[in-house]
Structure 1
Amino acid sequence: MGKIFKFGCLGIIALFVIGIIAMVAGGGDSTEKTSTDTKAVSKEGVSSDVKIAVGSMETVDSVGNEYTKEQAQGVFKILEVTLTNNQKDAITVDANSFKLVDNKGREFTYSTQGQTSFDLSNGGKTDFFLKQLNPGLTQTGKIVFDIPKDAEGLFLKASGGMTGKEIKLKVE
């Protein structure tokens, strides 16, 4: 009975030591990932086999035409984005897959009113609202963001399709 007790205690102590070693050794990876993911490096990237490229950016106070004019609360940033679907299936492209982020960490989604006015004045040719993109095809569109005038250091958070992995891309 004494030998069983000794081996049982040694086994529990060994498991405890192994558990502590595993916790200490496994903890380093998560901090390393967050430190490398904080900066947008390029104007082009790949998310879930969808190539995303940032084109030009325009700053305006209003969008639309004489019938559909929409005034920005801050300023409108109109960002041109090109997507190439390298997946095997069609993807659904939506403006909700894109967010502008400034150097204060504020995230801006696209402006529904600004996007609608802009699209109506351009015949709906440049929008990304629930568009299907088949494999091997490329689509370029413009996304309208209403952001504060003091927003600086902008980068784009984007994902390839509605379920793609989020990446960060340079804007300015």
Structure 2
Amino acid sequence: MKKAFKFGCGGIVALILLIVIVTSLGGEDSNESADKEKAPVTSSTSNEDSEEKSESSAKENGHVGIGEELIVGKVAFKVNSIEEVNEISASDGFMKYEPDAEGAVFLTVNVTVRNDGTELINTDSSFFKLISSNGAEYSPSTIIVADDKYFTYDGINPGLALTGNVVFEVPPGLTGLDLQVQTGFWGTETGIIKLN
């Protein structure tokens, strides 16, 4: 009889502790919800403000097109133009490059990269990738053109920009393309620019 009584008292003590814990947790939740209710609600004073906010948010989240800047980390990317060509000539006029794959064309994407950070960054054509609407991915062409029209692992100091071409071998007439851009070799920060 004494053992049953001790167990019963222990069970009652445990039940009381459980009620105290649940009550204290519930009190914190109600305080949080009361704080949320007290928080002031702000609204845009005009449609222009909300449009500017959504446009700014879009530019930071990758919903930009040709001619618009995309901010990825501390780097600004802008696609200036795209062009489909059958061959590429070096600036000296002597070297001409044609696609390696049969029936392919070159898609030349002219990009401006600006360093908004505080240290030198390096960029290369490998920091870009084409993605089609069906999910196919295209890496930059391996052609090396030794002139300043093409990205070949260039350093960009803070506050400066560099414009160059990134070349892809693709099927002719390819549409529904996005350009994925990244910062750094590991691509820790990426963004998307819609090409067509």
Write out aligned runs for 1:1-172 (5 A): 1-2=7-8, 4=10, 7=14, 41-43=63-65, 44-64=69-89, 67-72=94-99, 73=101, 74-113=104-143, 116=144, 119-120=145-146, 124-149=147-172, 151-162=174-185, 163=187, 165-172=189-196
Q: Once the 2 structures are TM-superposed, how far is the Cα of residue 96 of structure 1 from its aligned partner?
A: 0.9
Q: Which runs of 5+ in 2 are unaligned?
A: 1-6, 23-57
Specify whether residues 131 and 4 from structure 1 end up closer, same or farther in structure 2 by C-alpha distance, changes over 3 A only.
farther
Q: CA RMSD of the aligned region, Å?
A: 2.8
Instruction: Give the secondary-structure state (helix, strand or coil) at the position aligned to 1:110.
Output: coil
User: 2-side partners of 1:126 and 1:63: how far apart?
Assistant: 11
With normalisation by structure 2, the TM-score equals 0.62
Question: Percent identity, aligned pairs only?
Answer: 27
User: 1-side partners of 2:195 and 2:80: how far apart?
Assistant: 8
Higher strand share: 1
User: 1-side partners of 2:94 and 2:152: how far apart?
Assistant: 21
Q: Which runs of 5+ in 1 are unaligned?
A: 16-35
User: 1-side partners of 2:173 and 2:136: how far apart?
Assistant: 11
Give the conservation status (yes or no) of the 8 Å contact 2:109–2:166. Answer: yes
Specify whether residues 64 and 2 from structure 1 end up closer, same or farther in structure 2 by C-alpha distance, changes over 3 A only.
farther
User: 2-side partners of 1:69 and 1:2: how far apart?
Assistant: 92
Specify whether residues 134 and 147 from structure 1 end up closer, same or farther in structure 2 by C-alpha distance, changes over 3 A only.
same
User: 2-side partners of 1:64 and 1:4: how far apart?
Assistant: 88
With normalisation by structure 1, the TM-score equals 0.70
Q: Once the 2 structures are TM-superposed, how far is the Cα of residue 67 of structure 1 from its aligned partner?
A: 4.9
Q: Once the 2 structures are TM-superposed, how far is the Cα of residue 60 of structure 1 from its aligned partner?
A: 0.8
Aligned residue-pair number:
141
Q: Once the 2 structures are TM-superposed, how far is the Cα of residue 62 of structure 1 from its aligned partner?
A: 1.8
User: 1-side partners of 2:157 and 2:113: how far apart?
Assistant: 11
User: 1-side partners of 2:9 and 2:124: how far apart?
Assistant: 67
Instruction: Give the secondary-structure state (helix, strand or coil) at the position aligned to 2:152.
Output: coil
User: Between Structure 1 and Structure 2, whose CA radius of gyration is higher?
Assistant: 2
Which 4+ stretches in 1 moved above 3 angstroms? 1-8, 65-68, 160-164
Range moving further from structure 2, 67-76 or 104-113: 67-76
**Counterpart AA for 1:85:** N
